[in-house]
Amino acid sequence: MTETGNDKRVLNLFTKGSHHRNLSVIYMVQNIFHQGKVNRGISLNCHDLVIFKNPRDKLQILNLSKQMYRPGKTEYFLQKYEQAVSRPYGYLFIDLKTTTPYDCRRRTNVFPGEKKEQEKNVPEELLHYLGRQYLVLPPEILRMQNLKDQMNTLLKDPNMDNSQKARQNVHLQNNYLRYKDKINGPAQCDQVIQHPLVASLRKFSHHQTNYLSSPQGVHRYLLNVTF
């Protein structure tokens, strides 16, 4: 942490490399406000923060809340932080991108298999934002996700021999590639269907996805990962 906090090359990764070279940079620290020569520049150029529980020093979280929120709003942030880290290895994911609406910045339990909870009194702005971000997708994306799930299930089926699995797997792969060819940017397509929120929609057909585009549908199936 000391070496990287004083190394301009690390700062350049955040200010130049991540944008011009299409890199994802992960920077792990034990002190949010470490006093390195370039540490503040690194911190200000982070698009996301993942904060874990630290019973030893809660002052850092208080200072962070004061930097992010105007007076009177810091208590709400601290409450959500405590709620997020109340379970073992809990975390608060903070989205700092300029395009993210205010109410979408705090998240937890974003991975498949983690406990989900409903959030009440969700603003309409948040509902529409999530609808635009995760549900306005080509129908091929969800069909491709369904095909990937079928291929994974097929390989684990104990009631089929290898020759049967091979024949069905070829059929599923051909369908997968057919949908993939319809979408511009095949590499990006693979990244999109790996998104946990897209994966959570794999059970739904296209007409059911249209239902999810309504505020009620988005609230029911997506807001369980958003504070």
Instruction: Tell me the per-residue pLDDT of 87-137, one tens digit each, with 9 for 90 and over.
Output: 888 899 998 888 887 777 888 888 877 766 655 666 666 666 666 655 555
In the chain, DSSP assigns E strands to: 48-52, 91-95, 106-107
100 residue type, one letter: T
The span from the CA of 46 to the CA of 19, in Å, is 12
Q: What is the pTM of this model?
A: 0.51
Quick check: 157 pLDDT over 50? yes
Helix, strand or coil, per DSSP, at residue 226? strand
Q: What is the mean pLDDT of residues 185-211?
A: 44
Q: What are the tens digits of pLDDT across the range 28-71?
A: 888 888 788 888 888 888 888 999 988 888 888 998 888 888 88
Residue 42 · residue 10 · CB < 8 Å: yes
Structural Rg of the chain based on CA atoms: 21
The mean predicted confidence, pLDDT, of the chain is: 74
40 residue type, one letter: R
Quick check: 218 pLDDT over 50? no
87 residue type, one letter: R
Confidence at residue 89, expressed as pLDDT on a 0 to 100 scale = 87
Quick check: 10 pLDDT over 50? yes
What lies within 8 Å, CB to CB, of 14 at 6+ separation is 25, 27, 41, 42, 45, 46
Quick check: 26 pLDDT over 70? yes
